[in-house]
Structure 1
Amino acid sequence: MENQWNEQYDVVVVGSGAGGLTAALTACLRGLSVIVIEKTALFGGSTSKSGGTIWIPNNLYLEEAGVKDTYEQAKSYLDATVGDRVPDVLKSAYLQKGPEMVKYLHENTAHFRWEYTPKYSDYYPESPGGLASGRAVEAQLFDLRNLGDDLKYLRTSGLPTKGMVLKSSEFHKVNMIMRTWIGKVKAMKVGMRLIRTLLSGYKPTTLGEAVVARLYTSLKEAGGEVWLNTPFKDLIYENNRVTGVIAERDGKELNIQAREGVVFASGGFSHSPDLREKYLPQPSNTEWTLSAEEQTGDIIAAGVELGGQLDLMDKMWGTPTSAPPGAPAFMPVAERATPGLIIVNSNGDRYINESVPYHEFVDQMYENNHEKSSTIPSWMIFDQRVKNRYLVFGIMPLQPLPKEWFETGYAKKAKTPEVLAEQINVSPEKLANTISRFNTFAANGQDEDFGRGNSAYDRYYGDPTLDNPNLAPLNKAPYYAIPIYPGDIGTKGGLVIDAAARVVRKDGRPITGLYATGNCTASVMGETYPGPGATIGASMVFGYAAAVDIAENMGKQDSQIPKVTMTV
C-alpha cells in the first residue's frame, strides 16, 4: 500500500465526540500527527447534546473543591455497583488513568478547565464507597468566540432554554425559583448572563457544548485536524495489523494511513433500527434516543470483521424520554424527582420510585412491562401546583404548556383524576386510588411503597423546603398527563477493549493497531450507571489511554498489557 496512500498520519481517529477529541488531543500533545474524521457535518457527537459532566473519581478538581476521595474508596464503589460484570483490570485502569488524564490535559492545555458540581450525588451514594457529595465535575463556561469560523460546525444541544445558559450546578437551583431565595438569586444571575450576551459579543456555552468546544479548541491549537462529512468505510489490514482506514470525502474514497494506530470513537448504534431490533430490549424505537444522528454501529461491524469480541450489546445508557410535537425527544431528569408528580403504568399504578437514576428507571420500565400492565408508554401525572412551582420540560413555572401539545393529543389535561384517566385509557378508579394513596404518603413524609426521597440522589433535584423533598400532595386541579418511553442517550455495548483501549479478540489478544473508546465499546461501567458523566468520563479516559499506548509503543507490534475477556 506504500504508494497507494492518499493521506498519511500517525493516528487516525474516527468520531469527534469527547472520546475521539481526547484521543486526538493527547496524541498531538505527545508529538504525533493526527486526523479526526467525522461522519456528519457537525463535530461533537452525542457529547454536545449531553449534560457535560464527567464522573472521574479522585481527580484534581475534586481535590481543589475539598472533596475527599481515594482510589480505594472509588474501587469499592465500582465493585459494589459494576461488580464482576467487567474485568477488574478495566475498572482499575479507569480509576488510575482517569485522574492522570485530567491532570495531564489540565497542565498541557489552556482550555481543559472544569469545576466541581456541588452535592450532585453519585447515583447509588448509599452503596459502599459511594459519595452523597458526589464526584461530578463539569466543564467551565466557554466563550464560543474562541472557535472562530468553526463555530458554525459545532453540534448544539437543542435544549429549549430560549437563549439562557445554565450550568449543571445551576439548573436544580433555578428549578426552585418559586421556592427558595437561592433559586431566585441564581435565576437572576442566569438572567444577567443572558442580558450580557444580548448586549455584547459574549457567546457563553456550557454543558456538553462546552466540553466539546474546549477539547476542539485545544486540539486545533495543538495542531490537530478534524474533517467533517468524511464517513468511515472500512479498515485497511496488512501484515497482521491495522494500517489505515478507507474514508469518503467529497465523493471520493481515500486511503488514509495510520502509521501507529486507528482509534474508533464514533458512538454506538442507537440510530440503527436493525441493530436495535436484534440486540436491545423490545419495544425499541430510534425516535426515543437522544444520541446524535448517524450513530448506526458501522465501525462495530468493521471491528468484528477482524475478529473483535463483542459484549453488552443488549444494554444501553437508558433514560426515559418524551417527544413533544415538533421538538426532539426530551429527557425528564429533574421532573421525576419533583414532589407532587407520579408516573403510572396502563393500570394507573405506580411501579417505581420515580426519582431513581434514569438508567435504572428504563430497566424497570422493561422489567415491569407486561401484557396486563404495560409501562410503554408510562404516564407522567402532575397537577397545577407542580406547574406553578417548578420547571416542566424546560417550561418555566406559571408558564402554560404549549397549546400544540393538547391540540395534537400529546399531552392531556382534565379537572379531575377520573376524567384524566379516561383520556389516557386508564381505569378512573385505579388512578384516583393511586393518587389518594400517594397523597397519604406525602402527608406523612414517607413513601411506603417505593422509598422515594430516602436516597441523597433522589433529594438532589427535590424541593429543599419540604420535609421529604420528593413528596407533596397531588390535588390541585387541573391535572396533566404526558407519555414517557424507554429511551437512551446511547447504546453501551460493542467491541471489547483492554486497559490500553486496544480492541481484543475472543481469546483476549489485541488486534494490533486498532483501539476504541466510548459507546462503540463494551462499557467499563457494565450493566449499570455509577454517576453523572460516567459515559463521557469513560470515553475520555480510554481515548487518553489509547493515545498514551500508541505514543509509548511507536514501532512496536504488541505492548504488554494484560489480556481481557468479558464475562457474559
Structure 2
Amino acid sequence: MTGTYDVVVVGSGAAGLTAALTARLRGLSALVIEKTDRYGGSTALSGGAIWVPNNVWLEAEGLRDTVDNARAYLDATVGDRVPGALKDAYLRHGPEMVRYLRDHTRHVRFHWSPGYSDYYPERPGGRPEGRSVEPVVFDGTRLGPDFELMRRAGLPTYGMTITSAEFHHLNMIGRTWKGRLTSLKVGLRAIKGLLTRSKYLSLGEALTARLRLSLKEAGGEVWLSAPFVDLVAEDGRVTGVRVRRGGREETVTARLGVVLAAGGFSHDQAMRETYLPHPTSTAWTSASEGQTGDVIKAGLAHGAALDLMDKVWGAPSVVPPGERPFFLVADRGIPEMVIVNERGERFANEALPYHDLVDRMYATGSPRAWIVLTARAKRRYIFTGLFPGQGFPKRWRENGFLKTGRTVGELAAAMGVPVASLEATVKRFNGYARTGRDLDFGRGDSAYDRYYGDPTLPNPNLSPLEKGPFYAVPVLPGDIGTKGGLVIDGHARVLRPDGSAIAGLYAAGNSSAAVMGETYPGPGATLGPAMTFGYLAAEHMASGKSAEMRG
C-alpha cells in the first residue's frame, strides 16, 4: 500500500509540525508520521519558549534588537563551532519564520517573558532583559478529539496552568507580594477552567496545541503509531519513506522531499554508550519516549555526515527510584543551597546555565553530585516541584533517596561524603553568603543567576546554610535531548561529508546537529532553531516547486 504527498515529515514535535504547517500554507500536501501514539514529542514536555532574536513579538514590546547584535552574541557563545552560514541562516530566517506563522495562522501566538535573561547576558550582544518568547495560554478543548492524543508533560502543578513568566514570580510565593498575587492569578485561572470546562495549557503543551490546530485547519495529516522504518531512495535522491502502520509496512512517496524531525537518540542506550561521555543512561533523560535515533541511523546509512554526537542539551536532574527525572532549573538559584561532588566540595556556580553545569559535572571526573539545602529553604521556595510547606514524599525517605541530618556532619555521613570536607565547604560558602559575594564561583554575579533568586536578599542567590535540619538528594547529568545528528545547510538540506546535499532529504530539531554548537545561548535555543529549520525545509521545497512550475 502506498500514498503520495509533496512533503513527508518524520516526527511531530515543533520542528515537524512547523515543517508540515509551512508546507500546507505554501500549497503543498503534507503528512506527518509519528512513531508513538501521542503527538508533540519533547516539545510537549518542554518550557515551550523560543529564542529567536529580533522577532515580531519582541518588537511589539518595544525591545529593539539587530541582526548584528544577535550575531555578536552567537559569535561570543557558539563561536566557530558551526559554520557562519548556518548561524546567519538562523538569524535571518528565524524572525521571518515567527512573522510568517503569526501572519498566516490564527493560533501560533507568543508573548515576551520579561527578564528571562539570555544565558550569558554579560557577553557581547547578550541581553539581560531576555529575548525569549513563550506561547500564550491555550484552551486545549479547541483541539476537539485531538486533545486526547497530545503528549502531556505531567508537571507537578496540581491542576494549575502556569506559564514560565508566572513561575518566576510564583517561586517566591512565600517571599514577595508579586509571588502571592501571581498565585492568586493562577488560582483564578484554574477556577475559571473548572467552571467553563476549559483545559488550559501552557509551556510546551500550549505550543504543541497551537501548531497542531493550525496544521489541522490547514489540512495537514498526522499519522500516530506509525513508526519510521527507512528512507526510500532512487538514483541518489530520497523519494519517500517506509513506515509501519496497523501491523503492515507501507511505502509513502514524497514528491519534493522528506523532513527528518524525530528528535535525537536519548532513549537508545547503545548509541549513548557509543557517542556520549560516560557514565550515561537512558534513565537520566527527560526527552520524550521513542527517541532512539532511528532517523539519524537511516541518514547515516544513506551517506549523511554527523556532528556533535558527543553532546547533549544538559539538564542536571534528580531521579528518584522508579520515577521520571526531575530537571533542576529554578531549584539551583535559591539561597541556602549548595551543590557538591562526591568529595563534598563545590565545583561550580550552582546557578549556572543548566547545560554548563552538566559539562562541569563531567569535568569533575565523577559526574554524580548532591544538592544540599536547609529546612528553611525548603519552607520558603519551590523545590523539585514541591511547594513551600509541602513535605518531601514519604517514599523518598523510605527508599533512602532523601538524606537528612540535624547537622552538616550528620548529613555528610548519611550522604557518604567526607564529613570534614562537607563541613569545610559549607563553612567557606557561608562566609561568602554573609558578605554577599561568592569569591569562588561568582554565584549571583550574572543577571541569569538572579532571575531565579530571592529578590528580598542583597544577593538573591546567597544566604548561609546555618540551621538544621539539612537535606540532600543526588543529582545526575541528565538531558532534555541529544545535540548531535545529521549535518544540514542553511536550507535544512542534509549534507554528505564532502558538503554536497542529499537530494530530497532535510532535517530539523534534534535529528540535526545543533546550530547552537556546544553551548546553549538562551531559553528556547532548542525550539527556536527546530521551528526555523523546519520552516526553511518546507520553504526550500515550495520554492523548488514554484521554480519547476515556472520553468
CA distance in 2, matches of 1:175, 1:167: 12
CA distance in 1, matches of 2:319, 2:347: 22
CA contact (8 A) 1:94 1:541 kept: yes
| 2:269 maps to 1:273 | yes
Q: Per-residue deviation at 1:173?
A: 0.3
CA distance in 2, matches of 1:296, 1:99: 31
The corresponding residue for 2:143 is: 147
CA distance in 2, matches of 1:304, 1:133: 41
| 2:475 maps to 1:473 | no
Give the alignment partner of residue 366 of structure 1, picking from 344, 362, 365: 362
| 2:168 maps to 1:177 | no
CA contact (8 A) 1:16 1:266 kept: yes
Q: Deviations over 1:9-52 (max 9, x none)?
A: 00000000000000000000000000000000000000000011
Give the alignment partner of residue 395 of structure 1, picking from 374, 382, 386: 386
User: 1:328-367 residue pairs with structure 2 within 5 A?
Assistant: 328-367=324-363
CA distance in 1, matches of 2:337, 2:316: 15
| 2:238 maps to 1:247 | no
Q: Deviations over 1:103-149 (max 9, x none)?
A: 00100000010000000000000010000000000000000001101
CA contact (8 A) 1:55 1:136 kept: yes
User: 1:146-295 residue pairs with structure 2 within 5 A?
Assistant: 146-295=142-291
The corresponding residue for 2:481 is: 490
CA distance in 2, matches of 1:197, 1:555: 46
Q: Which segments of 5 or more consecutive residues in structure 2 lack a partner in the other structure?
A: none
CA distance in 2, matches of 1:506, 1:555: 29
Q: Per-residue deviation at 1:556?
A: 7.0
| 510-519 or 398-407: bigger deviation | 398-407
1:394 aligned partner, one-letter code: G
The corresponding residue for 1:563 is: none
CA distance in 1, matches of 2:513, 2:95: 21
SS in 2 for 1:7: strand
Give the alignment partner of residue 403 of structure 2, picking from 412, 420, 425: 412
| 2:322 maps to 1:322 | no
SS in 2 for 1:476: coil
Please list every run of at least 4 consecutive aligned residues from structure 1 whose deviation after the TM superposition is greater than 4 angstroms: none
CA distance in 1, matches of 2:335, 2:518: 29
Q: Deviations over 1:130-169 (max 9, x none)?
A: 0000000000000000110111110011211111111000
Q: Per-residue deviation at 1:477?
A: 1.2
Give the alignment partner of residue 371 of structure 2, picking from 375, 380, 395: 380
Q: Per-residue deviation at 1:346?
A: 1.1
Q: Which segments of 5 or more consecutive residues in structure 1 lack a partner in the other structure?
A: 558-568
CA distance in 2, matches of 1:198, 1:401: 28
| 105-114 or 421-430: bigger deviation | 421-430
CA distance in 2, matches of 1:68, 1:445: 33
Give the alignment partner of residue 518 of structure 1, picking from 491, 502, 509: 509
CA gap of 1:82–1:445, structure 2 versus 1, over 3 A, is: same
Give the alignment partner of residue 425 of structure 1, picking from 416, 424, 439: 416
Q: Deviations over 1:229-260 (max 9, x none)?
A: 00010111013211111000000110101001
| 513-522 or 321-330: bigger deviation | 321-330
May I ask how many residue pairs the two structures share in their alignment? Answer: 548
Q: Per-residue deviation at 1:327?
A: 2.9
Q: Deviations over 1:455-480 (max 9, x none)?
A: 00000000111110000011121100
CA RMSD of aligned residues (A): 1.0
The corresponding residue for 1:439 is: 430
SS in 2 for 1:498: coil
Q: Deviations over 1:54-111 (max 9, x none)?
A: 0000000001111121100000000110001100100000001100000001000000
The corresponding residue for 2:39 is: 43
Q: Per-residue deviation at 1:413?
A: 1.2
The corresponding residue for 1:538 is: 529
1:274 aligned partner, one-letter code: A
The corresponding residue for 2:545 is: 554
CA distance in 2, matches of 1:311, 1:555: 32
Q: Per-residue deviation at 1:508?
A: 0.8
Give the alignment partner of residue 83 of structure 2, picking from 79, 82, 87: 87
CA distance in 1, matches of 2:148, 2:257: 30
Q: Per-residue deviation at 1:198?
A: 2.3
The corresponding residue for 2:71 is: 75
CA distance in 1, matches of 2:547, 2:251: 23
Q: Per-residue deviation at 1:284?
A: 0.2
Query: TM-score normalized by structure 1?
Result: 0.95
1:152 aligned partner, one-letter code: E
Query: TM-score normalized by structure 2?
Result: 0.98
CA distance in 1, matches of 2:385, 2:475: 16
CA contact (8 A) 1:260 1:555 kept: no
CA distance in 1, matches of 2:30, 2:222: 9
CA distance in 2, matches of 1:436, 1:157: 39
